[in-house]
Amino acid sequence: MKDFRAPREAEARERAWEVVRSAYESREPVTWPRRHARPLIAGAVVAAAVAAVLSPPGRSVVHSLRKAVGVENAQTELFSLPAHRRLLVSGTGGAWVVNADGSRRRLGAYRDAAWSPHGLYVAATKADELVAVDPKGNVRWTLPRRAPRFPAWTGTRTDTRIAYLAGGKLHVVAGDGTGDRTIGPAAPVPPVWLPGRVVAYSNGHALVGYAVDSNSALRRVRIGPSGVTIRRHAGQSEVVSGGRVLFRGTGVFKQVVRSPDGRWLLVTWPTADQWVFIQIHPRKIVGVSRISSQFGGFPHVGGWCCSR
Amino acid sequence: MAGSSRDERAWVRRAQAGSVSDFEALFRAHWGRAYRAAYLVVRDAGAAEDIAQEAFLSAVRSLDRFDRRRPFGPWLHRIVVNRAIDWARARALRPEAEAVDAPAPDPPERDEELLRELEQLSPEHRAVIVLRYLLEYTPGEIAELLELPRGTVNSRLRRGLDALEERLQ
């Protein structure tokens, strides 16, 4: 058995090396004092905590501090997703696909990323390129554009469109990278696809739209209220649904993303460097900490894919 | 082929300091065995690539905390084999999961029968056999790697080998 060679070993090695090298190069090497500072600080914190817990008032202070930011007993690694399917995230650490079993694949050094409607491809942006890749990171096509941002993909299996911003304008391109059209001036806000293949975007003054099928501009569009929203006040954030607060915490919640089966919400919480998965009924909360170190920076969730 | 333990400690030390070439040496020394071990447990080239790649990404994330007095290989193999077992168990629970994109080419003929029979074993039995006979760990080392009692490792090895022998006869 020790002479065994697995199939496609060399190709797999070279593909993996590109991904691993990129992750290695984007890490920050830790110097000796920093490497050893953590245990020293941890020791000091433990000593202070032990001293504080000795007195009854101290106990409540420590309890409050622990509750202040982040879910208690959060997992230190994203071992698995609580719901099936896959997450797509992107940020300073590149774009990643996270599978239900917790395994992750870095697609490359992309800034934004969005699933195709059926999760077969990902539209992603680099400094001067819009790129379509498959979930293994293989590039299918590229479109050179200056500083493209916020790709959003919609459509059916046979006809899909990607809306994105570049050069201060909204563009729409077919899912195979052909027929790129400039629609009009756009503010740097992510465009949103609405039913009927209408893309809503901000022109800096109002929310306007473009209907793909009739090739017409819409002066004003309205986006219906989302079922779940984030509300912020007094240094706290709340996830609210139908007037009911589902989850509350200190600092900023950045996104709330619903799982494809609708049973779970993912709340991204940069203040706590956590993701919090909330099952609505029966209520259950799963926290995952150290998100930034797992993805090379706190990432934006590009989608939880895909309903069948 | 993995380098000597002195080479390896030097690669780890310089990789911690930011040397890409030393990190690459570490990667290339260990990729083959990690990938083969994953492949033998999961029997899916795409999944094996993901599992081995993910183990190296874990290595990148933990590099600064890695104690370079300890050997790198066992630490990596532990991640690989545990993830491969999890993957194989998950696949067994949901055989309807999406098919892999392309069938893997046939492995060399002389291995074919052994591999086919190996696949009939449970992921846990496959893992100890791979660790013992591909990666050449002792049963004591396997027990440590998988955090299992030594007796459990020995019995899994014995049962796995008995089952293979029976099928190959």
- Does residue A85 sit in helix, strand or coil? coil
Of all residues in chain A, the one with the smallest CA distance to B39 is A6
Residue in A20, A27, A293 nearest the CB of B53:
A20
For A93-161, the DSSP string reads TEEEEE-TTS-EEEEES-S-EEE-TTSS-EEEEETTEEEEE-TT--EEEEEE-SS-EEEEEEE-SS-EE
Domain covering B5-168, topology: Butyryl-CoA Dehydrogenase, subunit A; domain 3 (1.20.140)
* Cβ neighbourhood burial of B140 (10 Å; 0-12, 13-18, 19+): exposed
Of all residues in chain A, the one with the smallest CA distance to B67 is A35
Residue ranges and CATH numbers for the domains of chain A are 86-218 (2.130.10.10), 228-305 (no CATH)
Give yes or no for B35 touching A (CB within 8 A). yes
Asked if B48 and A12 come within 8 Å (Cβ–Cβ), the reply is yes
**Rounded CA gap, B38 and B51, in Å?**
7
Q: What is the pLDDT of residues B47-93, one digit of tens each?
A: 888 889 888 988 888 888 888 888 899 999 999 998 888 777 766 65
Q: Closest Cα of chain B to A173: distance in Å?
A: 27
What is the average pLDDT value for chain B, to the nearest integer? Answer: 81
Asked if A104 and B64 come within 8 Å (Cβ–Cβ), the reply is no
**Rounded CA gap, B148 and B144, in Å?**
7
Asked if A293 and B107 come within 8 Å (Cβ–Cβ), the reply is no
Structure confidence at residue A151 (pLDDT): 96
Q: Which of B13, B60, B79 to mutate to test the interface with A (most CBs of A within 10 A)?
A: B60
Q: What percent of chain B has pLDDT over 70?
A: 83
**Rounded CA gap, A173 and B138, in Å?**
58
Cβ-based contacts of A8 with chain B (< 8 Å): 45, 49, 104-105
Find out whether A171 and A180 touch, Cβ atoms under 8 Å: yes
Give yes or no for B29 touching A (CB within 8 A). no
- Does residue B100 sit in helix, strand or coil? coil
Tokens of B167: 């099928």
Residue in A17, A20, A30 nearest the CB of B64:
A30
A27: part of which helix (H) or strand (E)? none
Q: Choose between B118 and B16: higher pLDDT.
A: B16
Give yes or no for B88 touching A (CB within 8 A). no
- Range with the poorest average pLDDT among A85-94, B1-10, B17-26: B1-10
C-alpha distances (whole Å) from B105 to each of A83, A137, B87 are 33, 21, 21
The residue behind tokens 């030097």 is B10
Q: State the 10-residue block means of pLDDT for chain A, 308 residues long.
A: 78 85 69 43 39 39 44 80 89 90 89 92 94 92 94 88 95 94 91 90 88 88 76 83 86 89 90 90 88 89 80
Cβ-based contacts of B136 with chain A (< 8 Å): 2
Cβ-based contacts of B40 with chain A (< 8 Å): 1, 4, 6
Question: Which pTM was predicted?
Answer: 0.53
Find out whether B108 and A7 touch, Cβ atoms under 8 Å: no
Band (B136; pLDDT cuts 50, 70, 90): confident
Tokens of A231: 């509300």
Q: Report the candidate in B63, B78, B80, B59 with the shortest Cα–Cα distance to residue B17.
A: B63
Asked if A20 and B57 come within 8 Å (Cβ–Cβ), the reply is yes
Q: Closest Cα of chain A to B10: distance in Å?
A: 16
Q: What is the pLDDT of residues B112-125, one digit of tens each?
A: 677 777 888 888 89
Q: Which of B19, B20, B33, B54 to mutate to test the interface with A (most CBs of A within 10 A)?
A: B54
Cβ-based contacts of B24 with chain A (< 8 Å): 17, 21
Tokens of B94: 């949901």
Q: Report the candidate in A163, A197, A196 with the shortest Cα–Cα distance to residue A182.
A: A163
